[in-house]
Amino acid sequence: MKRRKNGKAAPEGWKSPDGGKRMKAVLAVSFGTTVDETREKTIGAVERELAEAFPEHQLFRAFTSQKIVKALKKTGKGSFCTVWEALDEIAERGADELTVQPTFLTAGGEYGRLRSTLSEWLLAHPSVCKKAYLGKPLLDTAEDRIQAVRAVREELPALHNGEICLLAGHGTVGASNDEREGSGSGREDPASGAEKKMENLSDAMEALACEMSRGAMHFATLEEAERDFETVIRRLKVSPGAHILLVPFMLSAGLHILRDIGGEGENTWKSRLKERGFQVSLLERGLGEYRGIREIYVSHARRAESFKAEALR
């Protein structure tokens, strides 16, 4: 990774704009992952597209998982920070305009906590970042969801007759204590009612994937499968012996996610499907690796800045 003037590591693809004059900033906010290769292929890929789309801005990175930031800091391989820490650095650089683009999939708990952190930080620093905007998550609108499914479908291996693609999402908000911690400390979780919204979104994604592929693509979440895997199987409407391609529908398909879906343990999706007579394979690829997915994030960042629809104050 390149080094900035203060010695801190910048994301791959970062460029110093305007000959060192840094008055505008773009902050890419992700949950994070400790796997270096996965991080640069997914989160890093989105960040590089944002840097290219905003050449007049300086790009900053932040992770919302305190656990992941702490683990990465221990490696000494680079500079990793929480949202609050990144905002402090942006203030030190004297930025007077800030666009924040999260790489979250939905406006669930992580997004709500990001808004709270941004609001709290801005109130505490009234003299900096006079203009601040927040982009929407990946699956914000029906059109976003159509584009996201299309982006994945266009880059999938060809499915032959009888083959099925099962998109594997994460599930509802608050899947772990670490996710609930986010980047704040002791703040109330603002995601009231988000679990129900996420269940509805999962149903919408399943209907959309099926419709756009004439039944060859389906959608389910890890939490859904944990509650009732038989319902997920019935949804596929295929007989034992058919081939099922498992495709992670998450920004970064980390090792634990790949293990839960395609590992050899008895409770993984792969093992449970094979038990029922299906042939199963896993595509080890995160959403950040799809060009069309990255384009959605960039478009959200552009809209946040151009139309100022998400002015934070």
What's the pLDDT tens digit per position in 146-193? 999 999 999 999 888 889 999 999 875 433 333 323 333 333 343 444
CA pair distance 64, 102, nearest whole angstrom: 10
Place of tokens 């789309």: 53
State the CATH number of the domain containing residue 97.
Answer: 3.40.50.1400
| 24-30 vs 58-63, strand pairing mode | parallel
H helices of the chain, in order, are: 36-41, 43-53, 66-75, 83-92, 109-124, 142-155, 177-181, 194-213, 222-227, 229-236, 255-262, 269-275, 291-306
Pair (221, 123) in one structural domain: no
Mean pLDDT of 201-218: 93
CA pair distance 56, 36, nearest whole angstrom: 28
> Which helix or strand (DSSP H or E) is residue 125 part of?
none
pTM for the predicted model, two decimal places: 0.83
Is it the case that residue 274 has pLDDT exceeding 90?
A: yes
The predicted pLDDT at position 225 comes to 86
When pLDDT is cut at 50, 70 and 90, the band that residue 70 belongs to is very high
Residue 83 lies inside a defined structural domain of this protein: yes
Sheet holding 24-30, edge to edge: 58-63, 24-30, 97-102, 131-134
Is it the case that residue 6 has pLDDT exceeding 90?
A: no
CA pair distance 122, 137, nearest whole angstrom: 21
Pair (134, 234) in one structural domain: no
Pair (102, 53) in one structural domain: yes
Is it the case that residue 144 has pLDDT exceeding 80?
A: yes
More confident residue, 191 or 132: 132
Domain residue limits at 45:
23-138+291-307
Pair (245, 298) in one structural domain: no
Residue 215 lies inside a defined structural domain of this protein: yes
Residue 147 lies inside a defined structural domain of this protein: no
